[in-house]
Amino acid sequence: MAKLAGNNAAITGGGRGIGRAIALLFAREGANIAVVDRDVSAAEATTADIRALGRSAIAVRVDVGHENEVAEGFHSVARELGDVDILVNNAGIDTTSRVVDMPTEMWDEMIRIHLRGVFLCTRAVLPGMLRRRRGRIINMSSQLAHKGAAEMAHYAAAKAAIIGFTRSLAYEVAEHNVTVNAIAPGPVDTDLFRKIPEDWRKRKLAEIPMHRPATVDEIAPTALLLASEEGGYYLGATLNPNGGDVMV
């Protein structure tokens, strides 16, 4: 039996990479999918593949760091697909700079997309989850939240803050049968990772016991666990599919 049958899932950054893999896996497990992405062409490509699987899907253009776009986008999701039962906050960006050289704009944009985006999208779906007394919220963090990395202080800070947000919100909503958890992957072979300077990527992969990045299909099953009934007793947890880069 499909593990997510009867559920509507919204996945930010669902047009590519990890988000796309999660969207397709959730669809194969019976969920209808809202692909939320600021690249609407990528979102539409993912929705086409989901519909080919026999599930309902919509593409919604949203910049997750923009309050009005989030409100309007999730209103469209509710109108066209229905109430969101599962939210995966996956949208993200990646840049590198030493702190001493980092423009304030680079710092602010990282926090805006990752941390503000998680807050805004979560706030958009939370009232309905609390009212219905059911919901799953899954936030994408990173192994760098645990260990940091040179030239990525802004990224590590944002991802660590997401873990703190996850734990705090979990306390607030558990009594309403809503769970909030995080995933902290290691490097994953995506467009985002490949755009990082090659010397940084080589150094990073040399640190990992497996000496390779994950595939997106090695990360998506962790999201499925947290979204499914089998994951119902995870609360405020951070799961770490990271190839041994951080052993916690």
| Rounded Cα gap, residues 118 and 89, in angstroms | 6
The predicted pLDDT at position 225 comes to: 98
The closest of 176, 162, 163 to 125, measured between CA atoms, is 176
The number of folded domains in the chain is 1
Residue 247 lies in a domain: no
The residue segments making up the domain with residue 105 are 8-239
Asked whether the beta carbons of 173 and 180 are under 8 A apart, the reply is yes
Residue 168 lies in a domain: yes
The closest of 117, 101, 189, 199 to 158, measured between CA atoms, is 117
| Rounded Cα gap, residues 44 and 12, in angstroms | 13
**Can you give the length of the chain in residues?**
248
Residue 220 lies in a domain: yes
Residue 3 lies in a domain: no
The predicted pLDDT at position 67 comes to: 98
| Rounded Cα gap, residues 141 and 86, in angstroms | 17
Helix (H, G, I), strand (E, B) or coil at 3: coil
| Rounded Cα gap, residues 12 and 19, in angstroms | 7
The predicted pLDDT at position 240 comes to: 97
Residue 37 lies in a domain: yes
| Rounded Cα gap, residues 47 and 95, in angstroms | 28
Residue 232 lies in a domain: yes
Element (H, E) at 77: helix 67-80
Q: Could you say which DSSP state residue 214 is in?
A: B
Residue 2 lies in a domain: no
Element (H, E) at 108: helix 104-111
Structure confidence by residue, pLDDT tens digits, 20-71: 999 999 999 999 999 999 999 999 999 999 999 999 999 999 999 999 999 9
Q: Could you say which DSSP state residue 118 is in?
A: H
The predicted pLDDT at position 176 comes to: 98
**Six-digit token pair at 234?**
């995870």
What residues in the chain have per-residue pLDDT under 50? Answer: none
Residue 155 is among the residues annotated as catalytic for this protein: yes
CATH label of the domain that carries residue 189: 3.40.50.720
| Rounded Cα gap, residues 173 and 217, in angstroms | 30
The pTM (predicted TM-score) of the whole model is 0.95
Asked whether the beta carbons of 46 and 58 are under 8 A apart, the reply is no
